[in-house]
Structure formats: C-alpha cells, structure tokens
Amino acid sequence: MLAKIKDILSGNYSDGEEIEVGGWVVKNRSSGKIVFTTIRDSTGEIQVTTKKGNVSDDDLMTADSLSLECSVRLKAKVRTDARAPGGKELVSTGIELVGCAQDYPIFGEGHNPEVLLDLRHLHVRSKELVAIMKVKDSVLNAAREWFRNNSFYEVTPPIIMSSSCEGGSTLFEIKYFDEKAYLSQSAQLYLESLIFGLENVYAITPSFRAEKSRTTRHLAEYWHIEAEMAWMGLYEMLNMLEDLVSYICNKTAEERAEEIRSLGSDPEYFLNLKPPFPRITYDDAIRILHEDGYRIQWGEDFGTHEERQLSMHYDKPLFITEYPLAVKAFYMKDAGNEKVLNVDMIGPKGFGEIIGGSERETDLGLLEGRLRKQGEDPSKYAWYLDLRRYGSVPHSGFGMGAERLVRWICGAEHIRDTIPYPRTISRLYP
Ligand code: 4AD
Ligand code: MG
C-alpha cells in the first residue's frame, strides 16, 4: 500500500521509517548532486530530496529529469525538518518515473479562463478545483447524513420526462424513440408521488435548465438536492431547512476547514452557522427595497440585483416567503390574497437563491386552472393530478442547488468552478 502524504505530514510515520509513495510532480529543482521535488497526491504535498549516494545514478538522473505533472513512485525515508513545508520531508532511496508529462500546458498564473475551460480535463487536478471538489464531497455526504438521521428515504426518480416541472422556457427537448421527451428540471412531481408510500423522501439528481444567458450562478446541468415531506406545512419546512443547511455547513467546515480557507472563504463562519435564519415576506422585501431606493413594483420577481441588495441586510441565509402567485410555479399552494405559500432561501453577500420550495397545492380544480393559465395541457399531467384524487395530504418540498451551496461555502466567484465539467450555453467540451 502506498503511504498517503497527509498521513506522513500528520506524523503517522516515525522518522527514518521507509515507505512508498505515489504522486505527481508539482515542482522540481536540482543543484547537480541533489534534487528537490515537490510531489502531491490526493491528500497533500510534500518535498522529496534525492541525493547522490542515497540512490543509484540512474535514479538521480530520473529525479533530475522530472517535470511538472510527471507521475512518480518512490521509496523514501521520512524525515522531520522544521524548514520543510509541513515540517516533514522525504529522503528518496529509489524513484521510478511512471508516466512522463512533457510541456504540461497549465503552468504559472494568469491563464485566460476560456483556455483553462478548454483544458478542464487537466485543470481538474489543480489545487483550487481539487479543494472545491472536496468541499462538494463533504456537502453531499452531510446532506445524505442529515436526511438519514431524520427518517428520509433516498429515492431514484427518472431523468427523462414527458412534461415540464418549471415551465417550458428552460426545457431541454430530446428525441425519445418516436416521441418528444425532456431532460428533468426537477424531480419534484415524482417525489410528490413517492411520499404516499414513504412519507419523507429525497433525491440527489442532475437537473437541466436551458438557461440562455451567461451568468455566474446558472448552469445548464446542475446537481439538485430535493426533498418532499408528507404532513408538513411551509413554516414547519422552514424550521427543517435551517436545521439542514446549518448541519451541512457545520459538517463541511469541520471536515474541510483548510480547503475552505485556501479558497479565501471563512470556515469559522460556516462552522458556527446555526438556526434561526431571518424570515421576511415578499411584501417586507419590497418595502426594504423601496427604502433602499429600488424601483421594483409589487408583483415583479426578484433578480440578481434585488436578491443581492436584500441579502446585504443579513449575515445569515434569508428566507423570503409568500411571493405573488402570478410569478410562481403552478404547484405552489395558493395562500388566498394573490400569494403562494413558498420560500426562497437567499445566500448572504449576494450569493443569491440557494433553495426554492413551497407547500404544494392540493386542490385539484385550482391545479388544473393554474396549469391552463401557464399554457400547459392538464391532460399531460393526468398522473400527477391523480395524486390529488387518491388520499391526498398536505405536503411541502424544496430543491437546493448543490453548486449554489458549494459556491457560497467556497466563496467561488463563478458557479462553473463548483462542478468538474460545467455545461453552459457556450460550453459542452470537454
Ligand atoms: O427554484 P427552482 O427552479 O425550484 C424547483 O425546481 C422546484 N421544483 C424544487 C422543488 O421544490 N423540489 O430550483 C431549485 C434550486 C434553486 O434554488 C437553485 O439553487 C438551483 O435549484 N438552480 C440552479 N442551480 C444552478 N444552475 C441553474 N440553472 C439552476 N436553476 C435552479
Ligand atoms: Mg427558484
């Protein structure tokens, strides 16, 4: 078994112990009889010293010839050295070049972002993207853990769909044998059907949105953490959401403090985040925006600027509830008064919407009317409407964009860096 660099740095091996390590070259410099190589593996970086006399002349030549991103396997002795980064170094006793890397195309700083996106298959090994992927791994694991601890079942809804959940303007159409089909925008409608047997369900699936604009928070393909709860109203769901979000943030900050810090974000903030989160209504939000000099009219949905402005008043995620019915999806429960029982959770400091959810409309007639109003044919939703015919119960659910959450935790400027292979209007390769 190869030793892992993190274990070496944290003192799991004693001085002089001989171990084997595999990794990739980050830096290499030589002064003739001694070669200093920094290598990395998935867990960290360490300096390797290869000295004439400690290894064969062939191995010394190999060490001397190493260039950026060559993969190597080496035998070495652990040495504590206060001057070495991390306080430990490896003294090589044998080195094998496993895969050479000539003229690795990503070196130094200041690359054009488009060039890096073309080289994404290589850039995914960069320190920054690796740190973000580790944060995402913690986020997804923490979410699953929370659901499991709270009596949710993980389910596997379809991705290929015969109708839309979030409206036609962002639907990706695909050819499905001789029929038209669509890529899922949300598993919600199917999750709703599954609460009748399982009561509390969640799914983590890809969702697709044909977003035609370039923004720093929209992807055409993203990972969607969605849940649906029987017997739950909107306000009970808010309690649940602040608990879930706090849990994910606390756990991720605990596991990935170093990565979060290296990305320029603050692990302490996420470690200490806890309920309650501030709650305002859409009406309150309009009032705040007017006080701040915004010209938005009652009835308009919030865009990036409005969400940013609202979030500036709070240092925690903000729940905004009860939006105008006219701007929201057909399935959100009518609250009377032209509003719906919905919630958007807005991240602080302009990170924008991270969660969208609602209590669901259970009235069959109202649902059919709302579908028609949105230009949909209710007969395409016959199966969904059946759910209101057979043992319907009050229920609520939400969707959380995994990349939106990771972007906030990492303080990433652009959402594309929170997914290894971003799909946007202008990018499908690699
Ligand atoms: O607000 P949305 O559109 O709500 C739904 O899809 C509901 N059916 C979810 C549900 O109740 N089960 O999307 C939910 C979340 C947003 O808050 C946002 O975090 C994320 O999905 N999201 C996107 N993330 C990245 N790129 C996009 N284009 C996104 N669109 C939505
Ligand atoms: Mg939304």
Find how far residue 392's CA is from the centre of its chain.
Answer: 33
Q: Looking at the domain covering 5-99, what would its CATH class be?
A: mainly beta
Q: Look at residue 32 in the predicted model and tell me its pLDDT.
A: 79
Q: Round the average pLDDT of the chain to a whole number and report it.
A: 97
CB of 222 shorter than 6 A to ligand 1:
yes
Mean pLDDT within 239-260: 98
CB of 186 shorter than 6 A to ligand 1:
yes
* For the chain, domain boundaries: 5-99, 120-418
Q: Look at residue 31 in the predicted model and tell me its pLDDT.
A: 87
pLDDT digits (tens, 9 = 90+) for 22-63: 999 999 999 879 999 999 999 999 999 999 999 999 999 999
Mean pLDDT within 271-284: 98
The conformation of residue 418, written as its DSSP 8-state character, comes to G
Which amino acid is present at 51? K
Mean pLDDT within 358-387: 96
Q: Look at residue 84 in the predicted model and tell me its pLDDT.
A: 87
Q: Which percentage of the chain shows pLDDT scores above 70?
A: 100
DSSP string, 29-68: EE-SSEEEEEEEETTEEEEEEEEBTTB-HHHHHHHHH--T
Helices 402-410 and 234-262 pack at an angle, to 10 degrees, of: 50
Q: Report H helices in 312-401.
A: 364-373, 382-386
CB of 360 shorter than 6 A to ligand 1:
no
Going by CA atoms, what residue is nearest to atom 11 of ligand 1? 398
Which amino acid is present at 290? H
pLDDT digits (tens, 9 = 90+) for 143-171: 999 999 999 999 999 999 999 999 989 99
Q: Look at residue 191 in the predicted model and tell me its pLDDT.
A: 98
What is the number of the ligand 1 atom nearest to the C-alpha of 220?
28
Host H or E run for residue 28: strand 18-30
Which amino acid is present at 114? E
Residue 312 in this model has a pLDDT that exceeds 90: yes
Q: What residues are paired with 71 via a beta bridge?
A: 24, 99
Residue 129 Cα to ligand 2 middle (Å):
27
Q: Specify whether domain 120-418 bears CATH 3.20.20.20.
A: no
Whole-model pTM: value is 0.98
Residue 200 in this model has a pLDDT that exceeds 90: yes
Q: Look at residue 109 in the predicted model and tell me its pLDDT.
A: 87
Mean pLDDT within 254-260: 98
Residue 213 in this model has a pLDDT that exceeds 90: no
Mean pLDDT within 358-374: 97
Ligand 1 pocket test: which of 155, 222, 318, 398 has the largest number of ligand atoms within 8 Å of its C-beta?
A: 222
Is it true that 5-99 and 120-418 share their CATH fold? no
CB of 37 shorter than 6 A to ligand 1:
no
- Contact (CB, 8 A) for 3 and 19: yes
CB of 333 shorter than 6 A to ligand 1:
no
CB of 219 shorter than 6 A to ligand 1:
yes
Smallest Cα–Cα separation from 234: which of 317, 337, 374, 345? 345
